[in-house]
Chains A and B, each alone.
Chain A
Amino acid sequence: MENGVVLAMRKIGKVFPGVRALHDVDFTLRKGEIHALMGENGAGKSTLIKVLTGVYEKDAGEIYIDGEEGAITIRSPQEALSHGISPVYQEITLCPNLTVAENMYIGRTPGALVNWKQMEQKAGELLRNLNIPARPKQQLGSCSLAVQQMVAIARAVDGDCKVLILDEPTSSLDDKEVEMLFKLMRDLKARGVGIIFVTHFLEQVYAVSDRITVLRNGELVGEYEVGKLPQVELVAKMMGKELESLSVIKKDAQGGARAPETLYEAEGLSSSESRPFDFHIAKGEVNGFTGLLGSGRSESVRAIFGADRVTGGRVKVNGKPVRIAKPYDAMKHGIGYLPEDRKRDGIIADLSVRDNMILAMQVMKGFFHPISRADAEKFADEYIKALEIKTASQDTPVKSLSGGNQQKVILARWLLTHPQYLILDEPTRGIDVGTKTEIQRLVLKLAEEGMSVTFISSEIEEMLRTCSRLIVMRDRHIVGELTGGELTQEQVMHTIAGGGN
């Protein structure tokens, strides 16, 4: 192995039934280096990390680690630890009811008894050494999330740690806390620990990393030094389009004859998950939020619908000021929302197609005015036909439908309430190409009939084809708005990367 290299993964391959998750991926980590691992959804980042930490077994390739002869095998998280590979996950995997010291040493000390004094002393030394502002006897739950994250890191690097894996460590931290975490990362780097940093915040990558490895569709795109890779090129590499070869795609259809009147207007709207932002949509308009994964696009539309706790802002519907604090309020004002995660937030798997469809309508009518069986059957029939839902009957449990058809059932649920404004969050994820275009066509048709639609998709082409206005987000802020001739892939990437208009 080369000098200074602490971890080398060579030609790693991993196949899941029907999917090639990783193919011929190389990854090299040097001593005292912070190495960012980047890629969009499904690029293979987490699969690579799981292979390295023994959660998955690799199907091909070799892993070498500093100080050990030959390739090593990692079959379990425990084996990974014994090779000096310690992961710290996005979700804090510590116990909030125990003290800081206990969290650092539980499960790692020999013997049947707990030596509190010794444990607290050792924990105190390590915390001081790493400048972590926590006290050993403090209950972990009383620390801020950032400090809890740092305690998890302290636990991981105690002992013989060569490779520290930080999987999205900053996703729930604010700016000041992120800075604290970065300081700790630089400290550890100075001690010679190699750090793999997985994140989707571009700015954080440039603030702290030395090198970037980009994956896409389970394959290695390349390894770059941070200074030699401008942000816009990084975005292009992650999305898989070379800047030069970007073709301008004209939209198939415009969002109908746009009436000038504004349907929905928000000023300084913020929720527990999103920063304050301004937003408006006209009658019959199709617009969209775009940005990389985690840029805050879903959080923004959830705020509009009241799906998260709304913390501030003024909202007007049809020019009248209204208060939307919870989804029911939004529904009363004719706003419908198709959530991103249809399995968790959308379908009720064991209920029939018909029952899933009439759900929102029933809520609107109130539970003391049940929808009659005959009506429900009529509505269900109508929409199964209109949306071409492939189901054995309307009594079939929704869970036995394909992803695309499940999505159509939820769409039918909202259409039944006759909304004036529909929000679709990733309606085409995980469904086949044919259904995708069907849904896109449907969106444009609804807009022509006067409905306003906000559309979110990870696929830029899809957004460009359907939306007449794109709101671009990065790191939880709106960084630009594109309309008309500006709606090109190149322009979107420039805006995401911070080029602006």
Chain B
Amino acid sequence: MTTGTKNLRRREPLTDTQLLVTITVCIFFAMYAAAMLIWGGGFLRPQKVFDLLNDNAYLLIIACGLTTVMICGGIDISVGGVTSLVAMSCVAHMNNGGSVFTGALLALGIGLAFGAVMGYLVAYLEIQPFIVSLAGMFFARGMTTIISVDPIKNANEGFAGLMKTKIEIPWLGYTARNGNLIPARMEIGVVVALVIMVIFLVLLRKTKLGRSFYALGGNQQSALMLGVNVRRTRFLAHLLSGLLAGIAGFVFLMHTGAGNASNAAGAEMNAIASSIIGGTLLSGGVGNVLGTFFGVMTLSTIKSIVVTSGLRDPWWQSITTGAMLCFFILLQSVVLSRRGRHKAHLPAWLRGGAGKQNA
């Protein structure tokens, strides 16, 4: 112990969450910078970032909900199905005389209903979240096909107007060959996604509910002893995840403009991958949505890089995603086990000098 005040003002070492999120952010920027240097072109224009955001706004929304559930130590694989069902229901509703407003309400309603039922099963009847949400996924995918096997194109003028509305940012634009200034364009869905992200950032950090999510994921038994209402907390996590899946369905429809039985195919898996890349641990208690944002961006950037580098066949993206995920989970377990608390069983050459033994 040296002088007291100095000691108190010393910077705390990063928490696990901060450490993992920092790693992801650094890797994202490094990767993006490398892409700019190597492939130039599209990557040099700010519009590239907006394109990634436009394409993945719905994924970011889903991933925020999923991150919340994963922080509690749970999982929700129904989100892709719910997104798909919402997109299909909304387009069918709005084409048959519904307004945009009632369509949005329908989206929220379906999302909340799925979240509530699954949350009840998981939290109060204590059924494995994986099984419950697997059932939810099949159910939602099935319902989507019942509404229509064929794709439905949006015919609602109000909604078409909403789809066309883009936020233009002239100073981030570029000048095309013919001399016209093309401003950077961002869809409304991106704004929705970013607002949701900020709300969840605050929710997870500043509210008692948010901290209860972390406590639950850290150690459920302890959380109970510390006075956390474990069941209600778990229920709310699934409810929020369902709600966000509903919103994501609406945003998805705003981006694509059509309902399709294969809407958002594999979105739940991409969302899980994004959360994990963003530093959320599947075992719970660690992670935040800022990391998830960078997880989504990292994943979409790498896919974009794969395409740009000439590997246009779709399987290359899958393979890269797999390799990427593998790289990140390995990195995370190495980093955490070097901190010495998480008992990952690493081979000796990875453990380095960390395995010290007090005699």
Residues of A within 8 A of B (CB): 77, 89, 92-99, 102-103, 106-109, 111-114, 116, 124, 135, 137-139, 141-142, 174, 311
Whether A97 contacts B222 in the complex (CB less than 8 A), given A114-B208, A142-B341, comes out as no
Knowing that A97-B218, A103-B226 touch, tell me 9 more A-B residue pairs with CB under 8 angstroms.
A77-B225, A96-B218, A96-B219, A96-B285, A106-B208, A106-B227, A112-B208, A114-B205, A114-B208
For A77, A93, A107, A141, the residue with the greatest tally of chain B CB atoms inside 10 Å of its CB is: A107
Choice from A93, A135, A138 contacting B225 with Cβ under 8 Å: A93
A120 to chain B, nearest CB (A): 10
Bound-state Cα–Cα, A94 to B226, Å: 7
The interface residues of chain A lying within 8 Å CB-to-CB of B215 are 95, 98, 102, 106
* B211 and A102 form a contact (CB under 8 A): yes
For B8, B223, B225, B358, the residue with the greatest tally of chain A CB atoms inside 10 Å of its CB is: B225
Whether A139 contacts B227 in the complex (CB less than 8 A), given A93-B222, A96-B341, comes out as no
Query: B222-244: contact bitstring with A at CB < 8 Å (1 yes, 0 no)?
Result: 11011110000000000000000
Which residues of B, 44-72, contact A by the 8 Å Cβ criterion? none
Which residues of B, 14-34, contact A by the 8 Å Cβ criterion? 15-17
A402 to chain B, nearest CB (A): 31
Query: B114-153: contact bitstring with A at CB < 8 Å (1 yes, 0 no)?
Result: 0000000000000000000000000000000000000000
* A114 and B211 form a contact (CB under 8 A): yes
* A93 and B221 form a contact (CB under 8 A): yes
The interface residues of chain B lying within 8 Å CB-to-CB of A114 are 205-208, 210-211
Choice from A95, A107, A108 contacting B218 with Cβ under 8 Å: A95
7 residue pairs from A and B, CB less than 8 Å apart: A97-B16, A97-B17, A97-B218, A102-B211, A106-B227, A107-B227, A124-B8
Question: Is B12's beta carbon under 8 Å from chain A?
Answer: yes
Bound-state Cα–Cα, A278 to B206, Å: 56
The interface residues of chain A lying within 8 Å CB-to-CB of B357 are 311
Choice from B12, B205, B228 contacting A107 with Cβ under 8 Å: B228
The interface residues of chain B lying within 8 Å CB-to-CB of A98 are 211, 214-215, 218
Which residues of B, 328-342, contact A by the 8 Å Cβ criterion? 339, 341
The interface residues of chain A lying within 8 Å CB-to-CB of B16 are 97, 139, 141
The interface residues of chain B lying within 8 Å CB-to-CB of A111 are 208
The interface residues of chain B lying within 8 Å CB-to-CB of A138 are 12-13
Q: Number of B residues contacting the other chain (C-beta, 8 Å)? A: 32
* A113 and B206 form a contact (CB under 8 A): yes
Choice from B13, B212, B222 contacting A94 with Cβ under 8 Å: B222
Query: B158-172: contact bitstring with A at CB < 8 Å (1 yes, 0 no)?
Result: 000000000000000
Bound-state Cα–Cα, A152 to B246, Å: 41
Choice from A95, A109, A112, A124 contacting B214 with Cβ under 8 Å: A95
6 closest residue pairs by CB, A with B? A107-B227, A95-B218, A97-B285, A97-B218, A93-B225, A137-B12
A136 to chain B, nearest CB (A): 9
* B12 and A95 form a contact (CB under 8 A): no
Whether A142 contacts B218 in the complex (CB less than 8 A), given A95-B226, A106-B211, comes out as no
Bound-state Cα–Cα, A96 to B284, Å: 11
Whether A95 contacts B15 in the complex (CB less than 8 A), given A111-B208, A114-B211, comes out as no
The interface residues of chain B lying within 8 Å CB-to-CB of A139 are 13, 15-16
Bound-state Cα–Cα, A139 to B285, Å: 12
Question: Is B74's beta carbon under 8 Å from chain A?
Answer: no
Question: Is B257's beta carbon under 8 Å from chain A?
Answer: no
Query: B36-50: contact bitstring with A at CB < 8 Å (1 yes, 0 no)?
Result: 000000000000000
Which residues of B, 174-215, contact A by the 8 Å Cβ criterion? 205-212, 214-215
Question: Is B253's beta carbon under 8 Å from chain A?
Answer: no
The interface residues of chain A lying within 8 Å CB-to-CB of B80 are none
* B12 and A106 form a contact (CB under 8 A): no
* B341 and A141 form a contact (CB under 8 A): yes
The interface residues of chain B lying within 8 Å CB-to-CB of A89 are 225
* A95 and B206 form a contact (CB under 8 A): no
For B210, B215, B221, the residue with the greatest tally of chain A CB atoms inside 10 Å of its CB is: B215
Question: Is B92's beta carbon under 8 Å from chain A?
Answer: no
Bound-state Cα–Cα, A112 to B210, Å: 10
The interface residues of chain B lying within 8 Å CB-to-CB of A93 are 219, 221-222, 225-226
Bound-state Cα–Cα, A311 to B212, Å: 39
* B13 and A142 form a contact (CB under 8 A): yes
* A97 and B211 form a contact (CB under 8 A): no
Bound-state Cα–Cα, A93 to B13, Å: 23
The interface residues of chain B lying within 8 Å CB-to-CB of A109 are 208
Bound-state Cα–Cα, A252 to B263, Å: 80
Question: Is B286's beta carbon under 8 Å from chain A?
Answer: yes
The interface residues of chain B lying within 8 Å CB-to-CB of A135 are 8, 12
Bound-state Cα–Cα, A89 to B222, Å: 11
The interface residues of chain B lying within 8 Å CB-to-CB of A124 are 8
Closest to A309 in B: B357
Question: Is B111's beta carbon under 8 Å from chain A?
Answer: no
A369 to chain B, nearest CB (A): 28
* A108 and B15 form a contact (CB under 8 A): no
Bound-state Cα–Cα, A137 to B212, Å: 17
Bound-state Cα–Cα, A106 to B209, Å: 10
The interface residues of chain A lying within 8 Å CB-to-CB of B210 are 114
Closest to B10 in A: A135
Bound-state Cα–Cα, A116 to B211, Å: 11
Closest to B284 in A: A97
The interface residues of chain B lying within 8 Å CB-to-CB of A141 are 16, 341
* A107 and B226 form a contact (CB under 8 A): yes
Bound-state Cα–Cα, A103 to B214, Å: 11
Choice from B13, B219, B339, B358 contacting A95 with Cβ under 8 Å: B219
Query: B278-300: contact bitstring with A at CB < 8 Å (1 yes, 0 no)?
Result: 00000001100000000000000
* A99 and B15 form a contact (CB under 8 A): yes
Bound-state Cα–Cα, A188 to B59, Å: 53
The interface residues of chain A lying within 8 Å CB-to-CB of B219 are 93-96
Closest to A87 in B: B225
The interface residues of chain B lying within 8 Å CB-to-CB of A99 are 15
Bound-state Cα–Cα, A15 to B218, Å: 36
Bound-state Cα–Cα, A292 to B210, Å: 45
A29 to chain B, nearest CB (A): 23
B291 to chain A, nearest CB (A): 14
Choice from A77, A97, A116 contacting B217 with Cβ under 8 Å: A97
A374 to chain B, nearest CB (A): 40
Whether A106 contacts B212 in the complex (CB less than 8 A), given A93-B222, A97-B16, A311-B357, comes out as yes
The interface residues of chain A lying within 8 Å CB-to-CB of B208 are 106, 109, 111-114
For A96, A98, A111, A138, the residue with the greatest tally of chain B CB atoms inside 10 Å of its CB is: A98
A129 to chain B, nearest CB (A): 14
Bound-state Cα–Cα, A285 to B221, Å: 45
* B341 and A95 form a contact (CB under 8 A): no
B218 to chain A, nearest CB (A): 3
